[in-house]
Amino acid sequence: MPENTVTREDLEARLKANPFAAWMGLSILSLDEEVLEIGLVWKEDMIANPEARNTHGGILAALIDTAADFMIAAKVGRPVPTIDLRIDYHSAAGPGDLRAVARIKRLGRTFSTAEAEILDADGKLIASGRGVYFTAAAQE
Amino acid sequence: MPENTVTREDLEARLKANPFAAWMGLSILSLDEEVLEIGLVWKEDMIANPEARNTHGGILAALIDTAADFMIAAKVGRPVPTIDLRIDYHSAAGPGDLRAVARIKRLGRTFSTAEAEILDADGKLIASGRGVYFTAAAQE
Amino acid sequence: MPENTVTREDLEARLKANPFAAWMGLSILSLDEEVLEIGLVWKEDMIANPEARNTHGGILAALIDTAADFMIAAKVGRPVPTIDLRIDYHSAAGPGDLRAVARIKRLGRTFSTAEAEILDADGKLIASGRGVYFTAAAQE
Amino acid sequence: MPENTVTREDLEARLKANPFAAWMGLSILSLDEEVLEIGLVWKEDMIANPEARNTHGGILAALIDTAADFMIAAKVGRPVPTIDLRIDYHSAAGPGDLRAVARIKRLGRTFSTAEAEILDADGKLIASGRGVYFTAAAQE
């Protein structure tokens, strides 16, 4: 894996400038050459079902996509378009902050694959998934 | 395909009671035995990138998941857990309301597959995808 | 959708020249501007489980991938690399010939999405799925 | 993760009894509580393109599905039905034997997710992917 080309500060600035990421309360918890961790600040508007009070699967998908994309951004210089996304839902997420852990599966000149998993505050695996990203867009 | 067991009014009430669906401004545009159409009211918080002003892929994923799940709900009586979700992003969505069109691919006793596509106001295909849903949960 | 640029005869010749497609007994049943149908000649080596005698999911994946790719080939001139593939298995396929029906979801200059479903001799839906294909490779 | 309930010898016997797995020349290279490695013996019939001589994506899908399913089988007692499968193709596989490395992402009572990657003889990552499996079928 090549070295990161973006500092944590620059990546954080890009994340904060992304309105939906800001709405989700996303922030970078850690970044090294292999792993990016992003935290989400839970809120009532994220609920899917008023009785079960579980977090909407779309929020989980958005968090996985953002974390995977930003790990690629750390390598290629900026977030790149998502071509497709696949999410597995493993456990319902009750109210509470979440954490996504992202890694690159393969970094390519044209396309790249990255994956992320979401953990709750107890470390329980909530969801995991992958996106394919159009890395060539970073050269445009 | 069996007949719907839920009226449009009941389905709409469930949609409105779902906090994240409400945040996205979702409403039922039409429902028949084969197709459910759901509208989304766009807002600034849905943007992914402040320059390009494209809608976040997580919003599109949430809309596809919700539309597919609610088409199944029309048959089985209530929304059911998403097991997995796969989204293809076809074109960037600029600011503006969106519409999802959902159909069931296969309705099963234990698992079901439904799909949806998202169109913008000009009828342009923005994204499409599928979920697998745990239909047996509706009997619990 | 643009017009096909490859005749059925040329597409059939490419299919027959593909060793694994030939092993699966694939042939073109029909081709028009929207739909490609490919037939598979079943054989004992395709079985996954000696008791249940169901057809291996990998055979179904190969058939969906090939049909989707060849529908794109009809437009762009030749089969193109598969970037990723997603298959839903709807019903077990007992021994017997199968038929795949493929359509393009979106044809793009750089990448394209196509989908296919597999039906058995009774018209029962066995599996369905989609691939994303690297269309730009056809210009190389 | 619970302990394996099937010995390597029993799992190997099931693999050899699977006609399509036998056609692909699959055998167990290693098995422990976390990882299953399966080898594939390459042959000419596996080629997709007679000029490029790359291995057909359907073969790679079949190998990933089989490895993921058999890692679950090691826990639950027997291979279980695949609900859906998602494959990312990272590099073309030239002629030559392949190896799949499978791990369970989440083992559930009703459904489970497992993933596998395929490496060539040089250790190059060829493809990777995941399936969702109907684990409850093992209790039937």
Contacts of C111 in chain A (CB under 8 A): 83, 134
State pTM to two decimals: 0.97
Q: Which of A84, A132, A135 to mutate to test the interface with C (most CBs of C within 10 A)?
A: A84
* Coil, helix or strand at residue A76: helix
Q: What is the mean pLDDT of residues A36-59?
A: 96
Nearest CA of chain A to the CA of D29: how many Å?
A: 23
Q: Three-class SS of residue D31? A: strand
D81 touching B (Cβ < 8 Å): no
pLDDT of amino acid D140: 58
Q: Give the closest of A58, A66, A83 to B89, CB-based.
A: A83
Render each residue's pLDDT in chain B as its tens digit; 140 residues: 899 999 999 999 999 999 999 999 999 999 999 999 999 999 999 999 989 999 999 999 999 999 999 999 999 999 999 999 999 999 999 999 999 999 999 999 999 999 999 999 999 999 999 999 999 988 75
Contact D132 B86 (CB under 8 A): no
Give the pairing of strands A27-31 and D98-106: unpaired
Eight-class DSSP state of A139? G
Check if D137 contacts B (Cβ < 8 Å). Answer: no
Q: Which among A19, A61, A89 is the nearest to B62, CB-wise?
A: A61
- Neighboring chain A residues of C134 at a CB cutoff of 8 Å: 110-111
pLDDT band at A137 (very low <50, low <70, confident <90, very high): confident
Q: Using pLDDT thresholds of 50, 70 and 90, give the confidence band for residue D98.
A: very high
Residues 6+ apart with CB under 8 A from A36: A11, A28, A30, A67, A70, A71, A74, A101, A102, A103
pLDDT over 90 at D137, yes or no? no
**Subunits with 3+ C-beta pairs closer than 8 A to C:** A, B, D
**How many Å apart are CA C61 and CA D37, to the nearest integer?**
21
Q: CB–CB of A105 and D113 under 8 A?
A: no
How far is D2 from D122, CA to CA, in rounded Å? Answer: 32
Give the pLDDT confidence score for residue A140 in this predicted structure: 58
Q: Is A88 close to D130, i.e. CB distance below 8 A?
A: yes
Give the model's pLDDT for residue A84: 98
Share of chain D above pLDDT 90, in %: 93
DSSP C24: T
Q: Tell me what pLDDT residue B140 has.
A: 58
Given a cut of 90, whether residue C131 has pLDDT beyond it is yes
Among D64, D24, D68, D27, CA closest to C20: D24
Cα B120 to chain center, whole Å? 14
Cα separation, A79 vs A133, in Å, equals 9
Question: Would you say C99 and C118 are in contact if contact means Cβ atoms under 8 Å apart?
Answer: yes
A105 Cβ under 8 Å from any chain D Cβ: yes
Q: How many CB atoms lie within 10 A of CB C9?
A: 10
Burial class (CB in 10 A: 0-12, 13-18, 19+), B1: exposed
Taking the C-alpha atoms of residue A69 and residue A28, their distance in angstroms, rounded to an integer, is 13
Out of A90, A128, A132, closest to residue D88 by CB:
A132
A81-136 pLDDT, tens digit each: 999 999 999 999 999 999 999 999 999 999 999 999 999 999 999 999 999 999 99
3-state secondary structure of B77: coil
Tens digit of each residue's pLDDT (9 = 90 or more) over C111-122: 999 999 999 999
A113 in contact with D, Cβ within 8 Å: yes
B136: chain D residues, CB-CB within 8 Å: 110
Candidates C87, C90, C120, partner chain B, best to mutate (most B CBs within 10 A)? C90
Q: Looking at the predicted structure, is the pLDDT value of residue C82 above 80?
A: yes
Going by pLDDT thresholds of 50, 70 and 90, the confidence category of residue C140 is low
Is the model more confident about A52 or about A99?
A99
CB contact under 8 A, B125 and C113: no
β-pair partners for B111: B134
